[in-house]
Structure 1
Amino acid sequence: MHVLILGGTTEARRLAELLDGIPGLTLTSSLAGRVASPRLPPGRTRVGGFGGPEGLAAWLREHAVGALVDATHPFAGTISFNAARAAALAHVPLLALRRPGWVPVPGDRWHEARSLADAARALPALGRRVFLTTGRMGLAAFADLDDLWFLVRSVDAPEPPHPARMEVLLDRGPFTLDGERELLRRHRVDVVVTKDSGGAATAPKLTAAREAGLPVVVVRRPPAPEGVPVVPDPDSAAGWVREHLGRPPLAGH
């Protein structure tokens, strides 16, 4: 059986590790190619798009894929809808692996935003020194905020358009709570912007912001395709794949 993982996330790599070496299983992980030096999972890898849902469906048929796992980033909305359409066209079972979103706790000063543009509109009333952790792809939404200063953290260097007053911090999670506390203090940050990515790797910034009493603009996740089964962790996804292989679950799962 050939399994295709639409990946690029920590969960996708972990799923590939759990499935690697299973007899009778061919494993391919597909990466979008937006990061210059991605962490490659075990098994085969391919980089780049498929050409929409029809192109993905053709790839599934051509490579005799028997199961498809969408383990992309929670904000990679287009590929998730393409995967749902492609799986239906190619008659391939599809599972979505989605880490749970973050939940506010007492002391958090969260301001929900529907989009990056919505977050940008909210910023002038909340602070002047912004820690922007939404990645390098959406900086155009903040490019006109000339009165604000931005600390932008991303894996690769951003390209224009982006804010004029900006310092770039090239880094990759997971991040520590002590490190996030020091970053907020050293750069005199007074407001944080983040997508609701979920997971533990980048969550310490939320704790550090709460301790410092800072407002956090949280961009909500885009809608997900209806009718696609969803699991919250790689272990559950591996169990789903093994069921389709007709194999017993891994010990302890």
Structure 2
Amino acid sequence: MSAILMHHWRNRQNHVLVFAGTGEGPGIASTLLESGYRVSISVVSPAAARAYCGMQLDDLHVGPFTSQESLGQHLAARGVTFVLDATHPFAVQISAQLRLACSLRNLPLLRFERPDHVVSDGSLLLTVADLSDCALSGHRLLLAVGARQLAAAATAARLAGASIYARVLPTPEAIRQAGLAGLSGERLAVLRPGIGDRIGGLEAALCRRWEITDVFCRQSGGAADQLWSDLALRHSIRLWKLKRPNQMPNVDVVHSVSQLCRQLDGHVNGSETGPHHGG
């Protein structure tokens, strides 16, 4: 048997369960499948699941887990040998649940973390409430944070004296949260980030139409984060970012798919550099 076939055969004995919550998920799954691993995916919504159509997955779970127990039962039922937390950087609850579940079952856990984009220390906020202390009086602020944080961000921005606008995703929950935050009509844009003929074109048009001076987004490390960073630089807009949560302790972190594969290969081969067991 050739070295490549032996490598794929050895990987085939291992089952990786990927908890995906970012745009990198499909690429991760595809690479792991090409490397010979058995792969299962867990996503929150049917919309996210569509990106995995046609892949030879062992299992595709759609929907949130209602409890720590249900998550543990899912891990046990699938017979997985590795768990990859590739959820959104701000999805801290599921990350904490995964760490506990893997620790209890002695399952190796890896965290896929997207790299940070450059931001000045003065523009990085630890909490949404910190926005109220920023120099925003008379400024026109565009809120580009998650729907769950929109109301708190709007309250803080109003306390700072800003005139606020928002961009939300085209989902019923996001639009509902915008309404609760007092944002609708001409002060609300409903669209997905990065769509259109030119990446960032719609966002730039919004900023021009509303004469935006400042933008508040999350330090997610993803495409939306990069989009706002580039747009702010090009159009001389002040960018404020909500700092991403701290990494989970005692969980190995990878920043690329190639690094992930090296970590998994190292563990398969018995290397001491493999992932920790969630504890």
TM-score, normalization by structure 2: 0.75
Aligned to 1:182: 205
What does the per-residue CA deviation read over 1:170-214, in whole Å, with 9 as the maximum and x for residues that have no partner?
214377255543332122111100100113454132122123322
CA RMSD of aligned residues (A): 2.7
Question: Does structure 1 residue 162 correspond to structure 2 residue 185?
Answer: no
1:79, distance to aligned residue in structure 2 (A): 1.1
Deviates more, 1:82-91 or 1:234-243: 234-243
Which has more helix, going by share of residues?
2
1:77, distance to aligned residue in structure 2 (A): 1.0
1:128, distance to aligned residue in structure 2 (A): 3.6
1:32 aligns with one of 17, 35, 44: 44
8 Å contact kept, 2:143–2:153: no
Aligned to 1:173: 194
8 Å contact kept, 1:4–1:68: yes
The whole-number CA distance in structure 2 between the counterparts of 1:231 and 1:237 is: 6
Aligned to 1:4: 17
What does the per-residue CA deviation read over 1:104-162, in whole Å, with 9 as the maximum and x for residues that have no partner?
3xxx695221122323x146725542221112222121344396231323252421322
Taking a change above 3 Å as real, the CA distance of residues 50 and 153 of structure 1, as seen in their structure-2 partners, is closer
8 Å contact kept, 2:15–2:79: yes
Question: Does structure 1 residue 56 correspond to structure 2 residue 68?
Answer: no
Deviates more, 1:74-83 or 1:135-144: 135-144
The whole-number CA distance in structure 1 between the counterparts of 2:70 and 2:241 is: 34
The whole-number CA distance in structure 1 between the counterparts of 2:66 and 2:205 is: 43
**Structure 1 letter corresponding to 2:32:** L
SS in 2 for 1:20: helix
The whole-number CA distance in structure 1 between the counterparts of 2:210 and 2:104 is: 50
8 Å contact kept, 1:70–1:94: yes
**Structure 2 letter corresponding to 1:45:** L
What are the ranges of 5 or more consecutive residues in structure 1 without an aligned counterpart?
Answer: 248-253
2:145 aligns with one of 122, 134, 140: 134
**Structure 1 letter corresponding to 2:94:** I
What does the per-residue CA deviation read over 1:218-252, in whole Å, with 9 as the maximum and x for residues that have no partner?
100112210100010122223333444559xxxxx
2:98 aligns with one of 83, 96, 111: 83
Aligned residues: 240
What does the per-residue CA deviation read over 1:18-61, in whole Å, with 9 as the maximum and x for residues that have no partner?
122554x431111123xx62242232321222344443223212
8 Å contact kept, 1:155–1:172: no
Taking a change above 3 Å as real, the CA distance of residues 40 and 156 of structure 1, as seen in their structure-2 partners, is same
Instruction: Choose 1 or 2 for highest CA Rg.
Output: 2
Aligned to 1:70: 85
TM-score, normalization by structure 1: 0.82
What are the ranges of 5 or more consecutive residues in structure 2 without an aligned counterpart?
Answer: 1-13, 271-279
Q: What percentage of residue pairs aligned between the two structures are identical? A: 26
SS in 2 for 1:198: coil
Deviates more, 1:62-71 or 1:149-158: 149-158
The whole-number CA distance in structure 1 between the counterparts of 2:60 and 2:137 is: 43
8 Å contact kept, 1:111–1:217: yes
Equivalent residues in 2 for 1:82-231 (5 A)? 82-104=97-119, 111-119=123-131, 121-122=132-133, 125=136, 127-144=138-155, 145=158, 148-157=163-172, 158=174, 159-160=176-177, 161-164=180-183, 166-173=187-194, 176-231=199-254
Deviates more, 1:237-246 or 1:216-225: 237-246
